[in-house]
């Protein structure tokens, strides 16, 4: 399902990997949005 949040995943060759940051941020937003929607509809 989700790959764990780890600092190493954001670095490639010692430099910050912007694509990893963007993809993780998008994944987090989608996950939070899904939880928010489910918590509202089940109430």
CB 32 within 8 A of CB 22: no
Task: Confirm whether 2 is domain-assigned.
Answer: no
Number of domains in the chain: 1
Task: Confirm whether 1 is domain-assigned.
Answer: no
Q: Is residue 18 pLDDT above 50, yes or no?
A: yes
State residue 34's pLDDT score: 94
Distance CA 39, CA 43 (A): 6
Task: Confirm whether 21 is domain-assigned.
Answer: yes
Task: Confirm whether 13 is domain-assigned.
Answer: yes
pLDDT digits (tens, 9 = 90+) for 19-40: 878 888 899 999 999 999 999 8
Distance CA 3, CA 28 (A): 11
The domain containing residue 12 runs over which residues? 7-41
pLDDT digits (tens, 9 = 90+) for 1-14: 445 556 665 555 66
State residue 23's pLDDT score: 86
State residue 22's pLDDT score: 86
């Amino acid at each position: 399902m989700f790959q764990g949040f780890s600092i190493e995943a954001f670095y490639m060759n010692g430099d910050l990997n912007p694509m990893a940051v963007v993809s993780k941020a998008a994944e987090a937003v989608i996950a939070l949005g899904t939880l928010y929607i489910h918590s509202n509809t089940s109430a």
